[in-house]
Each structure stands twice: as structure tokens, then as C-alpha cells.
Structure 1
């Protein structure tokens, strides 16, 4: 007997809490205890799955509830969990919507249905990556001068990139400053200045919201053909970065790019 197709989850409603309660009543959202029992997973294993983004839950009345598609044998579990890890930057309710709504990019099938066939799954990987990246962006600002808590330094350049916040912070910052990217000012006319000292802030913005987290500050100093940099992370940990060879003709944006290139692995 063929399985009946579940109706799409309508999470974009005025009363989201009422919608989730309806799904609980229909058995399409499970309590953690029921989910662990049906998935046959221990609490510590479930915690690791959630931490990695492989599974997720929504909060209803202060308790975690899990979508039943995580225990449905219809769907390729390995592929589903990989997609869910990609969707991690988005809020859980948005992830449910993405997975259960038909997509024109997938030929009017849902991402869950796309898991079954190789070509559809390849298209889904591309779609999921682009969709999830819209929920988080890394912002890099470069300022003229040595950092001072009492002084507002002149802004030289701002770079922005939509990228998964779990990616290495220096790689994200470098992507935000890449040539031809989303830079302001976008043209080097007049050229960016050649500076002996600069302060760089790396910030992660989570959408929608927007929630802003200052992740790190780089103190950059140029002397005798080399750039010396120290990173101070939000946790309070400092890191001296390896000196980088620079040219007398390098403007400060080029210098910062070289510093990030040497530390993004």
C-alpha cells in the first residue's frame, strides 16, 4: 500500500504556536522522549546530533519537539542529515518550511522528496547552500589607526559576505574582502590608503533579526616590509599571527587580505 503524502507544514502563519500545537496533535511533531524512543537514540547521542545540526527541534511551550521526518524510513537519513547541517544557520521553523514546501528549483517537489533521486539531490545541495547562506553574513570593517576604546577611528572599507558562521573566521573575513565582492566603497578610486596601523573588526550578523555578534578584532601594524597582526577574540583569547611580507605599494585592504590569507586554514 502506498503511503499518503503528508500535507505541507504551514509554519508561516499568524499564530505559529497554534500551528505547532496542531502538528503535535497530528503526531507530526514528537516530544524529545518519544523521539528518542522511536529513533532509538540515547540522550548524549541526540545532543551531539543537535549540536552538529544533523537534527533539530522547535520550541513549543518551553519544550523541544522534533519533526517526524527524522524517523521516517521513506527519506534517506544520511542525505537528510547532511542537508540539515547545511540549513543550520536558519531558525528551526524556517528549516521545517524549507524541507516540506515544494520548490520550483527542484521541479515542484519538496526537498524531502528530492532526497530519493541522485540528480534531484545534487540540485538540492546547491539550493540548500544558497538558501541557508542568506541567514548569516560576516561583516568586516577596516579602520585607520591603532585601536583605542576612547577614539572613533576613520572607516576605510567595509566588506560583507553571506556565509555559514561555522566556517573558519579568517576564511569568512577574507571572503568578505575578496576582489569584486560586496565592498564599500566598491571602487578603489581614490585608492585605499597605505597605512602603518589599522584596526579590523569581524562581526557575524544573524538574520532575521538582526542579531549582531562581534567575533574578533585584528590589530595590524606594518613595519619594514612586513605586517604584524594580533587577533583578539570575543572570548578574550588573544592570538599573535605570523608576520606577512608586504610591499610598499600595498594599500591597507591588500595588507589585510594578505594577513587573512596566511591564517585562514
Structure 2
């Protein structure tokens, strides 16, 4: 048995023990403890207020999420924040003590207003660790991300995938979390930008958008193609001689973020 197989077997044995001990409940048992209707329960699951742990191809619910002596409204709100993380990691987070919330556990932090506010901030930070947004810029026009061309820029940032795509894009370009190369960047008449979301682990990246940028006679234009969504053009912008193609892309990303904010 190889190392990772052994780890999986131990984890499965631990989950089976949790079922036997009542730490994991069937849906009927769990819903009975919560005392909610089937419709309300379905909405809770859809929103991420509660989550399941799979054991032998059967979904169980952590009894912790229905404990009678806990502020469940606050607990379920924290669960929604944590939803980008895998279910087992969410349960581990809720069950462990954390230095960044004063060495206490999330369950204990629910009892105090200031601790609860701190917990929410730290939970957001934890959730962001499970997803990265990448922004990759290539000189030239490309329908799909090329494998034989070096990008002009690759920027990556850890951020909650539920955050608006353009806010994440601007954050990646400005954060310095990972930006390569660090410049200087060229001016270019044509460029293509690919924006993707990368779940933690070995899961495949999800393409989110492509921006086709062109610069002619000091005027830049950008056409945005959202994955499985509409294609639209942003208002053109005037470009100074000293602005690189990365500067232009950042300006369009900021414009896209502002445009979406106004349309809400």
C-alpha cells in the first residue's frame, strides 16, 4: 500500500467511526435535530449553511451543525463563508483551535460578539486560500491560451471565488502575490488576456473570461468574452505613449469593475 492510499484508508476509518459515534448523522436524523421543513433544509444545503461528509458513498451531516447549545444562526453563516473549502476541511476548521482567533475554536468564538466578528474575517481569509485567480497576458491575438508562447505577464492571487471577477482581476494585477515577470513590460498593438480560477489541489482550472485588447493611434479598445456568457465591448480609452500593454489591461479591468458596479 502506497503512502497516500494508507492516508485515505485512515481517513475513511475515522469517518466510519464518526458515523458510529453519532458525530455524523443521516439526513433524516440531522433534519430532525434542526426541526426544519424539507424545503427549508434544501435551501440551507444550497446556500452552504450546512454541508455533507461522504462515507462509503453515503452523505452524512456533521452533528456539530445542529447542536442545541450553539448559536446556529452564526454557525451557519460561518459555514457559508467557508464553502469554497472542501467539506472535510470545513469541518476540521470548525473543530480546531486557531491562533488567529485568540487560540480558541470557532465554536467558542460564536459566543462573543467581538470574537465572532474576528472569526468571520479569519474564515474569509481561510476560504480564499482554496481558490486562486490567474490573469495571463499574451501579445497577439489568441482564441485559446497558447502552449508555445511565453506570456507577457502572469499574475495570481488567492481570493474567494465568489468575489466579482473584475475585482479579483484587478487584485491579481495589483497585489504582488505572484507577478511574473516583474517588468518592464512592452507596448503592443494587440494582446489577449485570459482569466481563470484555480481550485486548490489537482482540480482543473476554470476559464472565466478572455479580453481582446487592441491599440490603434493611441486609442485602446477591449472586447470581453465571458465564459458561457455574453461578449461585449468596453468604452475605448486614450493611451499615453509610455503606457505598457499591462497598464492598458489594468485600466480596462478597473473599467469593467466600475461598469458592473454601476449596473447593479
Match of 1:182 in 2: 178
Q: Distance in 2 between matches of 1:137 and 1:156?
A: 19
SS class of match (1:178):
helix
Q: Distance in 2 between matches of 1:87 and 1:74?
A: 21
SS class of match (1:193):
coil
TM-score by length of 2: 0.86
1:38–1:71: 8 Å Cα contact kept in structure 2?
yes
The counterpart of 1:158, out of the listed 138, 154, 160, is 154
More helix by share: 2
Q: Distance in 2 between matches of 1:36 and 1:240?
A: 48
Structure 1 residues 258, 122: closer, same or farther in 2, change over 3 A? same
TM-superposed CA distance for 1:78, in Å, is 2.4
TM-superposed CA distance for 1:210, in Å, is 4.3
TM-superposed CA distance for 1:209, in Å, is 2.3
Which stretch has the larger CA shift, 159-168 or 35-44?
35-44
Aligned-residue CA RMSD (Å):
2.2
Deviations 1:53-99 (A, max 9, x none): 22211112222211112212322222212211221111000010000
TM-score by length of 1: 0.86
TM-superposed CA distance for 1:236, in Å, is 5.5
Structure 1 residues 179, 120: closer, same or farther in 2, change over 3 A? closer
SS class of match (2:152):
strand
Q: Which runs of 5+ in 2 are unaligned?
A: 1-6
SS class of match (1:250):
coil
TM-superposed CA distance for 1:21, in Å, is 1.5
**Aligned pairs for 1:117-128 within 5 A:** 117-128=112-123
Structure 1 residues 140, 228: closer, same or farther in 2, change over 3 A? same
Matched, 1:249 2:242: yes
SS class of match (2:117):
helix
